[in-house]
Amino acid sequence: MTQDMVLPAPREATAGEPLLEVSGLTKYFPVKGGFPIRRTVGHVQAVDGIDLTVRVGESFGLVGESGCGKSTTGRLITRLLEPTDGTIKYRGQEIGHASRRQLAPIRSEIQMIFQDPYSSLNPRQTVGKIISGPMEINGIEPEGGREKRVRELLEIVGLNPEHFNRFPHEFSGGQRQRIGVARALALEPKLIVADEPVSALDVSIQAQVVNLLQQVQKELGIAFLFIAHDLAIVRHFSQRVAVMYLGKIIEVGDREAIYTRPRHPYTHALLSAVPEVNLTDEPDAVGRERIRLAGDVPSPISPPSGCRFRTRCWKAQDKCATEEPPLIQLSGNRAGHLTACHFPEDPTTEARDEDIVLDPALVALEEEG
């Protein structure tokens, strides 16, 4: 593929077909050191060989704790970052290493909603300019003009069309994020990557924005890659969910499988951290298991050998240090539910006879109490 060759228009995909296919996607950031010569002394393995598929009109959730590589994955898919390795296929065409000119025909079809509504909007531009900007850049002239289209978009996201000439500082955080959603919708995309779109908002506003995105997804048939660390929000929004840990996807499946029948120990630990309210009068009512891990996520500069979760896992054995578990369908899992674990957990999240507490300091504290 030559540098100045433009990619042909991709074929139309129908509902249920793969829209985005990612294979072996990798992103390493160089670590510079040495004096006076700045040389590469290592790499941050932010994303290390992940595979995922997002279907037409589907909402796909990507979850994991901070630093696991979720946001980097989103920026690679939208081509805000250049992949180190791997392939990104959009509607059957490889776009992972396409040039800016080659990407031009499909750039408008993949949009992004950013995490921080305060820094993602230009404070010097009016709302009308912010939302119409993508249309100007792509030379799109909607029927009735750009201003009419902007006012329609403001109405779609629940804002007053009369706010066309206001500036971002005149809006609350939730309203600013709605402006960000309107900007993403301006080019009628087929895929939106939403990178923690509600994490910077008050809890009372989060539900409003998530419901707005869900309404947009259903009414306009837009596929979403929804990146978040809040498991409750992902469960509400996404049809399928992938769990990420230290640059790797360690479990993926439909919403019910991940939230009620997880198999990977890390997924169990994540779900056990979600607050649960006992609505019964029985103090010993069977609830969700409780797992408390020791320490922090290892450094992505020098991740553990074999399974990356083994240093914090209660089921780790010698095999986990020497062999990396493949992401496969385990016996008893429904079709499409894949897990990367040599010694998977039972498919239940019910409370255990004893809590799993790996942190010695917590154990000592509870013994003193």
Residue 170's pLDDT band (cuts 50, 70, 90): very high
Which class for 158: exposed (0-12), middle (13-18), buried (19 or more C-beta within 10 A)? middle
Q: Are 205 and 221 in contact (CB under 8 A)?
A: no
pLDDT digits (tens, 9 = 90+) for 310-346: 999 999 999 999 999 999 999 888 899 999 999 999 8
Residue 91's pLDDT band (cuts 50, 70, 90): very high
C-beta atoms surrounding 220 within 10 Å: 14
The pLDDT score that the predictor gives to residue 329 is: 93
Residue 4's pLDDT band (cuts 50, 70, 90): low
pLDDT digits (tens, 9 = 90+) for 288-304: 778 888 777 899 999 99
Whether residue 183 is predicted with pLDDT greater than 90 in this model: the reply is: yes
pLDDT digits (tens, 9 = 90+) for 18-54: 999 999 999 999 998 877 677 888 899 999 999 999 9
